[in-house]
Structure 1
Amino acid sequence: MVSQRLSFAVFVGVMALTSCAPLSIYYKEGAEVSRLQTDELQCEISALSDVPVNNQIRQEPPIFIPARRYCDGAGNCYIRHGRFERGDIYTVDVNASLRARAEQQCMLDKGYAPTTVPNCPNTVFRAAPKASTRVLPRLTPQSCAIKYQDGTWQIVNQPG
């Protein structure tokens, strides 16, 4: 039960942090968001097919904890002998980086470019009507993004 609460707390924390992060998307002016999502999924599938997951088990090196002398307030002392602690064992997908590059190349081949759109200031967030972007607009230096809890987002071109 405690681990479920901790997992939920970590999930909420991660969600809060990602909602504060700027919007990172593949961008092609005039493209429909539904087409972007379809192209992105096709590129993910293609990259996974071309560069499959290759999980390998790794182990961090052991750590030596040197001997240490401990004494209480009454002058009684003892020595805890030095010891090695085993390094953590973990799994790594050695193809993850190459697969991400293959996916990015696929999206570039389809005419998209990776883009980051800053978050809108609160004044724009409150003033803009809630409407998810359906077609990627022309980006300007005043463009900003509003992210909604359902995972959709809106790109707003502020007057400037």
Structure 2
Amino acid sequence: MGFRILLLGCLLLASCAPEPRTIVHKTGSTAQEREDALLACNVEGIQEVPRAMTTEYTPGYYQPGTTYCRPAGHHGVACATVGAVNIPPSSRTYDANEGLRNRVVEACMRRKGFQMLVRPTCVTEQDRQRFLASQQGPQPPEWEIPCVL
């Protein structure tokens, strides 16, 4: 019983773990400089690698199963179906060029002296406040940014 509770707790923590986030970084840069560089590189990326919207279709699956019937006393017949499966078809639309475009944007940012940092999401209020303070004025070195919002 204790092991099950421990396992459940671990699963809950894992499912609630904050996703890592990406931020633009250049020591000494201002928020406006980072925003302007990212906008220019996003424009360059969309010009060099336009969107290629693609729809992926997954067919559904239907298995009717087997129906068994038996006499049910004075009430007639009782039937039950076993093994029936009905998975409806689905589709999703995505940009097939998104990965390549992201690499073009990152290369553009590197040419401008910026880098994309991947950091965990700040969990504590103290870490959140420290991150917000680090984004006011010139950006600190990357080692001073342990987490992001």
Q: TM-score range by the shorter chain?
A: 0.5 to 0.7
Change (3 A) 1:85 1:50: same
Change (3 A) 1:24 1:71: farther
Shift of 1:68: 2.9
Deviations 1:48-89 (A, max 9, x none): 111111112221133242423266994522658978765212
85-94 vs 51-60, which deviates more?
Answer: 85-94
Shift of 1:42: 0.6
SS at match of 1:29: coil
Is contact 2:26–2:114 with CA below 8 Å preserved after alignment? Answer: yes
RMSD: 3.7
Is contact 2:119–2:148 with CA below 8 Å preserved after alignment? Answer: no
Change (3 A) 1:54 1:76: same
TM-score (norm 2): 0.64
Instruction: Give the structure 2 partner of residue 58 of structure 1.
Output: 56
SS at match of 2:142: coil
* Percent sequence identity over aligned pairs: 21
Structure with max Cα Rg:
2
Deviations 1:93-118 (A, max 9, x none): 11111111111111111111111345
Instruction: Give the structure 1 partner of residue 104 of structure 2.
Output: 102
Distance in 1 between residues matched to 2:70 and 2:35, nearest whole Å? 65
Instruction: Give the structure 2 partner of residue 3 of structure 1.
Output: none
Give the alignment partner of residue 42 of structure 1, picking from 40, 43, 65. Answer: 40
AA aligned to 2:138 is V
Distance in 1 between residues matched to 2:40 and 2:102, nearest whole Å? 13
Distance in 2 between residues matched to 1:143 and 1:40, nearest whole Å? 19
Instruction: Give the structure 2 partner of residue 136 of structure 1.
Output: 139
Structure 1: state its 5+ residue gaps: 1-16, 148-160
SS at match of 2:92: strand
1:4-153 aligned at under 5 Å gives the runs 21=19, 24-69=22-67, 74=72, 75-77=77-79, 87-118=89-120, 119=122, 121-123=124-126, 131=133, 132-140=135-143, 143-145=145-147, 147=149
Is contact 2:127–2:147 with CA below 8 Å preserved after alignment? Answer: no
Shift of 1:144: 3.9
Query: Comparing both chains, which one has the higher relative contact order based on Cα–Cα distances under 8 Å and sequence gaps of 6 or more?
Result: 2
Instruction: Give the structure 2 partner of residue 150 of structure 1.
Output: none
